Each structure stands twice: as structure tokens, then as C-alpha cells.
Chain A
Amino acid sequence: DAGITQSPRYKITETGRQVTLMCHQTWSHSYMFWYRQDLGHGLRLIYYSAAADITDKGEVPDGYVVSRSKTENFPLTLESATRSQTSVYFCASSEQKRETQYFGPGTRLLVL
């Protein structure tokens, strides 16, 4: 089915380990986004990308790395996971800037 998918849906890891969350969209949208959702904070932007090979920091980028070698993929890497990175991570895409964003189902990450 067309749309935006995330994998894995659930992940448990340990402090200090590297973790990569995957995001794939089939619409060829230019823009892709990574958010984290925490109780009391709502959704906060981690990184976003306007096109392949173009990325920019959001509100809470520390401890995260992104890449976008292909338009349809936007992986998010936690280089050395910390407990404070336990969260629900959402990927989103939009056709153009400042337009409707379509969200994936989320990845629930627990860092022990």
C-alpha cells in the first residue's frame, strides 16, 4: 500500500547502543520530518529534510543523526542511546513546505 511506514514499530535497547529508526514514503514527497512525542511536551521536531541530501535541525536535534540519500527514505540514528531518548518517534512527510504533513504509525523506543 502507498503511504508512509516506519520500522521497527517497537524497540528496546540499552544505554550507549546505536539505534536506527527507518522511515519510508511512497508519495515522492519532498519534505520529511522526524518528531518525538513525550507526555507534557506534545510533538517536538528533531530534524527535517527538504529534499535528498538536504537536512536541517529542528527543536531537539542533540543526540540524533539523519541522512537522506534517497527521496523516499529518511532514517533517524541515535548514535549512543540515552534513557532520556525513550519516547515515541513519528516520521512525517509533506509535498511542499508549509503544507499538510502525513504521519507514520510511530516507533515506540525504550532505552534501558
Chain B
Amino acid sequence: TQLLEQSPQFLSIQEGENLTVYCNSSSVFSSLQWYRQEPGEGPVLLVTVVTGGEVKKLKRLTFQFGDARKDSSLHITAAQPGDTGLYLCAGFILTGGGNKLTFGTGTQLKVEL
């Protein structure tokens, strides 16, 4: 059972386009994180959102945590080739999850010139 579903699974766009990646669950999370992973490397944390409804911006990336803390989105404005990579959402389930970080299935993004 996959607790965190990401969509789309694959995304190929042209430089300058905008995109949104979604991370959904039926579970409530105490916090949710977004990672980016480049080929041959481990995931690197981009942001952590904690409060329902919270919005955080990191340059051209905007992260939002759903009001009910069950979902999140990542919006990239004017995508660049350097944004290419695997984007993973991950969260700590509020109850019953212990100290385990649950990962989504990932969204593979390719930004072409």
C-alpha cells in the first residue's frame, strides 16, 4: 500500500513552462518534505512544511501544504533545464507512523531547451 501518491509520474516540458506536482494521501502528516534527486546521487531536502495551509517559496519553487495536512503541491515557475530531476515528497504520519519517513513514488521531471 502506497501511502503517498505523487502525480504525474513523469513530466517532460520545455524551458520557461510552469508545472505543478501533486502529493496526496488519505493519512494526516505532522510534517511533509520535498526532496530533489539527481542521477547518481541521494535525495536532497528542498523544504519542510509543518502547518496546514502553509506556503513556502524557494526562488521559482512554491510549496503548499494542504489545510488538512493530507496533501501537498510543488509548483515551478518558468522551469529551467537545471530543474531536471526526480522530485520526492515524504512525510511523518501524525499517528502510528513512529519515526519513519514515508516517501511518495516520485515525479521524474525533464526540462528541455
Contact = CB atoms under 8 A, between A and B. Distances in A.
B103 A44 contact: yes
Interface of A: 31, 33, 35, 40-45, 48, 50, 58-59, 90, 92, 97-98, 100-106
Interface in B14-72: 30-31, 33, 40-45, 48
Interface in B60-88: 88
Given A42-B4, A43-B90, 12 more contacts: A42-B88, A43-B43, A43-B103, A45-B100, A92-B42, A98-B30, A98-B99, A100-B33, A102-B45, A103-B44, A105-B41, A106-B40
A56 to B, nearest CB: 8
A103 B33 CA distance: 14
Contacts of A100: 33, 45, 48
Nearest to B43: A103
B3 to A, nearest CB: 10
A106 B41 contact: yes
Contact of A43 (B30, B48, B88): B88
A41 B105 contact: yes
Contacts of A103: 42-44
Interface of B: 2, 4, 30-31, 33, 40-45, 48, 88, 90, 92, 99-101, 103-106
Between A45, A50, A58, A98, the greatest number of chain B beta carbons within 10 A of the residue's beta carbon is seen for: A98
27 contacts: A35-B103, A41-B105, A42-B4, A42-B88, A42-B103, A42-B104, A42-B106, A43-B43, A48-B99, A50-B99, A58-B100, A59-B100, A90-B43, A92-B42, A98-B30, A98-B92, A98-B99, A100-B33, A100-B45, A101-B45, A101-B101, A102-B45, A103-B42, A104-B42, A105-B41, A106-B40, A106-B41
A58 to B, nearest CB: 6
Nearest to B35: A103
